[in-house]
């Protein structure tokens, strides 16, 4: 026979002003199973919890109902109070009479009181069906997977590895480094991007705890927090990295020329190539799409010149598997394609370039050796127009959000232009200048003075060609007039967009993503680096546009989370998981089919007591189960129940009012 104790909270005036608490207590006392009911000013306070502890012992209570604020607020607090009194913490039920009654029915005390009574009755009825539950402990594989080798992935990998936890770093392209390796200088300090990044890249390659797998993709992730199994596809590079010395003879002799991705197609690379001179690992790969040996079977020069004989045209994609315990997703971002801006003549006029193209031009190791030139005639531009918010903050053509970094990098670009072409003049069309960040506003101010750039607040409406110049027409909103600027070169500050592969990756990892394709964090404020799936974390622009310092902070935060997860040999897990009653299970395996986590497998059990005949039933892997209850609702024979939300509990609630 259940003995329920009910504790009704005043919450100061929050509940007591709108609900007749003593009346609720009187009503609850009428329920047969309720052996003790009392009201108190603040149940969550120490004396309030003390009352619960004392009553449990004194009245031999078998379950507890606290009628107070939302269970999302204080369920944990009260569970602890039960634990302290030696009672199983899961025998607690919370009746939410504050958020669901007193605060939303402030004008009708009687109705609020009636509703509070009903909510208490429901909680009492549910608590009668509550069962003792015990936290589940799961063993942990102490190895982390980092997806993406940009600055976020590099930082996370290094931080985790420094804690002597093995890391598998998977990078899609032949070299790590990511977008940061393409940058010239970084705002607001103008230090050389390569100079601060490449040492870290080398650290990754040489770190004893990091296994670097470049030119590879994640194919499949199975398992659950602490116990994942990942399948990685290592794309065929046709170069044996073990024997290759990275001498470079092969790519120097290769006759096939291909647009160079690293320089955004501003120059050419070979069909066998290293993406850039400082690449890590500094070993070439063959571009199978363009190599004539692989496409037509003719050439083979690289193999001839390779002294160590590292070239292997027969190489196949390789699938490798690793057991890991946690995942850091750091897939970075894509530059938004400004094609929809037809009125700017994007695609038609060669002298309109994107910001990253400009970045490559002014970079010392870039295609033009650090001098910005007009793609049309190779002349050095004098008047350069920078247009901000191309794609960003534009619901009609682009994306709604602010890309966050464009204001700062455009400022940097005006400075770089000023440095490289002393007699140049920069015009900047902008909507706002957003320079929140340490040293950012100062940087912008100083740049405006130093470069004497002309800042025009307004949108550009049209760009047209006049002779070999580009005429940029826009509005200067501050004087309310249409202005036209004659430009040699136009640089579009294109938006940051989510990597196009993100949705596919999210699906295979089992995490969610937002409408733009960015990975979704578990909580926008309080859990910004975790995903809703335990053991998967987010670093850098894969979650939202970020600058380098923020990306690095988040990467380090991920590392801290991973280290925290791996602190013990086992992990504790909420016991609200599904359980299967073998007797009722008919083995139809529909649950196996709908489980989003692959937490259900099949098992063989004897048909009857002591029978040798076996039949198939479903089996829940407690470590994987997240407790959604999908399987419970689709199980026709009601063989599955979800601890904490069992059918009897919910039906008790339904019929109790």
Partner 1 sequence: MSVEIFVTDKAGLQKFYEAIMANHETYAPVETFGKFDFKRVARLTECDPESPVAKTRSIKPLFFPRTSRVMKYIATSAGTDVSETDEDPLAVKRVILGAKHCDARALQVLDKVYNWDYIDTDYQKRRENTVIISTRCDKADTHCFCTSLDYDVENLDAMDVLIVNGADGKIYIRAKTEKGAGLLNSEVTRHASPVTEESATPELKKQYDAFAASFRLRMDYAEVNAKLSKIFDTPEFENVSGNCVSCNTCAFVCPTCHCFKISDEKVKDAGVRYKSYDSCNNGYFTLMAGGHNPRPAKYRRWRQRAMHKFVYYKERFGENLCVGCGKCTISCPVNISIFEVVNQVAQ
Partner 2 sequence: METEVKDQLVSIEKPELVAPPNWEPVIMGILCNWCSYAGSDLTGTSRIQYPPNIRIIRVPCSSRVDPWFLIKSLQTTADGVLVSGCHPGDCHYISGNYYARRRFLVTKKLLNFVGFHENRVQFSWVSAAEGPKFAKVVNKVTEDIKKLGPLHLYKKENFEKK
Partner 3 sequence: MNYTKQIQEIAAKLFAEGKIDVFVGYRMNGFDDNQVPVLISGPQDISKLVFTDKSVFNLVNYLKTDHTRRKRVGLVVKGCDSRSLNLMLTESQVKRENLYVVGICCEGVVDDDGQRMQNCVECMVPDAVVYDELLGETLSGSQTLTGSKPYIVNVDIAALAEKPLTERAAYFEEVFESCIRCNACRHSCPLCYCAKCCIDQETATLYNGANTTSAAFHALMTWSLHLAGRCVDCRNCEKACPSHLPLHLLHKQNESVIFKNFQEHLAGVNPGDRGAFYKYSMQDPDDFIM
Contact residues toward partner 1 (CB under 8 A) are 29-32, 34, 121, 583, 609, 655-657
Reduced to 3 states (helix: H, G, I; strand: E, B; else coil), residue 167 is strand
**Residue from 106, 252, 593, 611 that binds partner 3 (CB under 8 A)?**
593
The answer to whether residue 515 forms part of the interface with partner 3 (CB under 8 A) is no
Minimum Å distance from CB 221 to partner 3?
21
DSSP letter (8 states) at residue 340: T
| Other CB atoms within 10 A of residue 259 CB | 12
Minimum Å distance from CB 433 to partner 2?
29
The answer to whether residue 376 forms part of the interface with partner 2 (CB under 8 A) is no
Cβ-based neighbours of 473, under 8 Å, separated by 6 or more: 460, 461, 462, 463, 464, 482, 483, 484
d(CA 54, CA 58): 6
Nearer to partner 2, 66 or 447 (CB): 66
The answer to whether residue 611 forms part of the interface with partner 3 (CB under 8 A) is no
Nearer to partner 1, 6 or 353 (CB): 6
Token pair recorded at residue 376: 């049309």
Nearer to partner 1, 128 or 356 (CB): 128
Q: Is the bond leading into 614 cis (omega within 30 degrees of zero)?
A: no
In the chain the first and final C-alpha atoms are separated, in Å, by 21
The answer to whether residue 647 forms part of the interface with partner 3 (CB under 8 A) is yes
Q: Which of the listed partners (partner 1, partner 2, partner 3, none) does 532 bind, with a CB threshold of 5 to 8 Å by partner kind?
A: partner 2
Closest CA to 426 of 412, 443, 414, 409: 414
Minimum Å distance from CB 607 to partner 3?
9
d(CA 536, CA 45): 35
Q: Which of the listed partners (partner 3, partner 2, partner 1, none) does 72 bind, with a CB threshold of 5 to 8 Å by partner kind?
A: partner 2
The answer to whether residue 98 forms part of the interface with partner 2 (CB under 8 A) is yes
Minimum Å distance from CB 461 to partner 3?
38
Instruction: Please tell me the count of residues contacting partner 2 according to CB under 8 A.
Output: 48
Token pair recorded at residue 469: 């110049």
Closest CA to 550 of 491, 493, 496, 492: 496
Token pair recorded at residue 611: 């029978």
| Other CB atoms within 10 A of residue 546 CB | 22
Closest CA to 24 of 41, 7, 12, 11: 7
Q: Which of the listed partners (partner 1, partner 2, partner 3, none) does 639 bind, with a CB threshold of 5 to 8 Å by partner kind?
A: partner 3
Measure the CA angle with vertex 601, ends 595 and 605; round to 5°: 135
Span from 147-155, 189-197, 373-381, 622-630 in contact with partner 2 (CB under 8 A):
622-630
Closest CA to 225 of 621, 642, 526: 621
Task: Report whether 90 contacts 83 (CB < 8 A).
Answer: no
Minimum Å distance from CB 44 to partner 3?
34
The answer to whether residue 628 forms part of the interface with partner 3 (CB under 8 A) is no
Nearer to partner 2, 52 or 632 (CB): 632
The answer to whether residue 260 forms part of the interface with partner 2 (CB under 8 A) is no
Measure the CA angle with vertex 234, ends 230 and 237; round to 5°: 170
Q: Which of the listed partners (partner 2, partner 3, partner 1, none) does 34 bind, with a CB threshold of 5 to 8 Å by partner kind?
A: partner 1
Span from 274-282, 339-347, 416-424, 629-637 in contact with partner 2 (CB under 8 A):
629-637
**Residue from 70, 252, 478, 637 that binds partner 2 (CB under 8 A)?**
70
Nearer to partner 2, 45 or 70 (CB): 70
d(CA 20, CA 18): 7
Task: Report whether 144 contacts 558 (CB < 8 A).
Answer: no
Nearer to partner 1, 95 or 433 (CB): 95
DSSP for 565-623, please give it: HTSSSEEEE-S--EEE-TTT-----HHHHH-TT--EEEEEEESSTT-S-EEEEEEE-TT
**Residue from 278, 512, 553, 579 that binds partner 2 (CB under 8 A)?**
512
The answer to whether residue 594 forms part of the interface with partner 3 (CB under 8 A) is yes
The answer to whether residue 584 forms part of the interface with partner 3 (CB under 8 A) is yes
**Residue from 48, 71, 153, 381 that binds partner 2 (CB under 8 A)?**
71
- Residues in touch with partner 3 (CB under 8 A): 583-590, 593-594, 613, 616, 634, 636-639, 647-648, 651, 655
- Residues in touch with partner 2 (CB under 8 A): 70-73, 96, 98-101, 103-108, 111-112, 114-115, 118-119, 122, 510-512, 515, 532, 576, 594, 596, 626-630, 632-634, 642, 645, 647, 650-651, 653-657
């Amino acid at each position: 026979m259940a003995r329920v104790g009910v504790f009704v909270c005043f919450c100061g005036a929050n509940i007591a002003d709108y609900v007749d608490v003593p009346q609720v207590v009187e009503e609850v006392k009428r329920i047969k199973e309720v052996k003790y009911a009392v009201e108190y000013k603040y149940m969550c306070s120490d004396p309030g919890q003390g009352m619960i502890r004392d009553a449990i012992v004194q009245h031999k209570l078998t379950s507890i109902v606290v009628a107070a604020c939302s269970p999302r607020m204080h369920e944990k607090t009260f569970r602890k109070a039960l634990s302290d009194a030696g009672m199983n913490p899961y025998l607690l039920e919370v009746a939410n009479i504050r958020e669901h009654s007193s605060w939303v029915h402030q004008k009708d005390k009687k109705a609020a009181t009636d509703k509070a009574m009903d909510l208490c009755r429901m909680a009492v009825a549910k608590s009668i069906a509550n069962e003792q539950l015990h936290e589940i402990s799961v063993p942990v594989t102490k190895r982390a997977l980092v997806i993406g080798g940009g600055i976020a992935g590099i930082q996370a990998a290094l931080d985790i590895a420094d804690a002597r936890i093995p890391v598998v770093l998977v990078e899609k392209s032949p070299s790590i480094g990511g977008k940061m390796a393409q940058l010239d200088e970084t705002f607001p300090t103008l230090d050389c991007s390569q100079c601060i990044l490449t040492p870290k890249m080398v650290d990754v390659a040489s770190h004893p705890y990091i296994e670097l797998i470049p030119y590879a993709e994640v194919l499949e992730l199975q398992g659950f927090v602490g116990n994942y199994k990942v399948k990685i596809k290592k794309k065929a590079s046709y170069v044996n990295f073990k024997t290759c010395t990275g001498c470079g003879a092969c790519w120097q002799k290769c006759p096939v020329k291909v647009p160079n991705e690293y320089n955004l197609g501003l120059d050419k690379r070979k069909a066998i190539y290293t993406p850039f001179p400082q690449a890590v690992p500094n070993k070439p790969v063959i571009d199978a799409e363009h190599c004539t040996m692989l496409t037509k079977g003719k050439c083979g020069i690289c193999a001839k010149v390779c002294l160590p004989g590292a070239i292997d045209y027969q190489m196949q994609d390789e699938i490798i598997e690793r057991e890991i315990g946690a995942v850091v997703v750091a897939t970075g971002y894509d530059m938004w394609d400004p094609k929809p801006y037809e009125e700017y003549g994007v695609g038609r006029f060669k002298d309109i370039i994107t910001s990253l193209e400009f970045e490559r031009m002014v970079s010392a190791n870039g295609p033009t050796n650090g001098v910005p030139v007009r793609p049309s005639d190779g002349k050095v531009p004098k008047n350069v127009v920078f247009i901000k918010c191309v794609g960003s903050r534009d619901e009609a053509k682009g994306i709604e959000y602010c890309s966050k970094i464009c204001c700062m990098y455009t400022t940097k670009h005006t400075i770089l232009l000023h440095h490289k072409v002393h007699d140049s003049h920069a015009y900047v069309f902008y909507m706002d200048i957003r320079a929140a960040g340490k040293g950012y506003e100062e940087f912008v101010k100083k740049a405006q003075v130093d470069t004497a750039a002309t800042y025009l607040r307004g949108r550009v409406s049209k760009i047209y060609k006049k002779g070999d110049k580009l005429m940029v027409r826009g509005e200067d909103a501050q004087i309310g007039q249409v202005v036209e600027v004659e430009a040699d070169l136009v640089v579009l500050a294109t938006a940051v967009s989510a990597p196009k592969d993100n949705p596919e990756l999210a699906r295979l990892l089992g995490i969610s993503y937002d409408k733009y394709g960015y990975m979704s964090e578990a909580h926008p404020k309080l859990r910004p680096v975790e995903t809703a799936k335990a053991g998967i974390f987010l670093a850098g622009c894969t979650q939202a546009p970020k600058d380098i310092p923020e990306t690095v902070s988040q990467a380090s935060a991920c590392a801290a989370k991973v280290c925290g997860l791996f602190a013990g040999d086992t992990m504790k897990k909420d016991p609200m998981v599904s359980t299967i009653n073998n007797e009722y299970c008919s083995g139809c395996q529909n649950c196996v089919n709908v489980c989003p986590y692959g937490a259900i497998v099949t098992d063989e059990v004897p048909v009857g007591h002591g029978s040798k005949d076996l039949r198939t039933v479903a089996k829940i892997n407690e470590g994987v189960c997240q407790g959604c209850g999908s399987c419970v609702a689709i199980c026709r024979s009601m063989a599955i129940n979800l601890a904490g939300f069992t059918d009897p509990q919910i039906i008790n609630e339904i019929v109790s009012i």
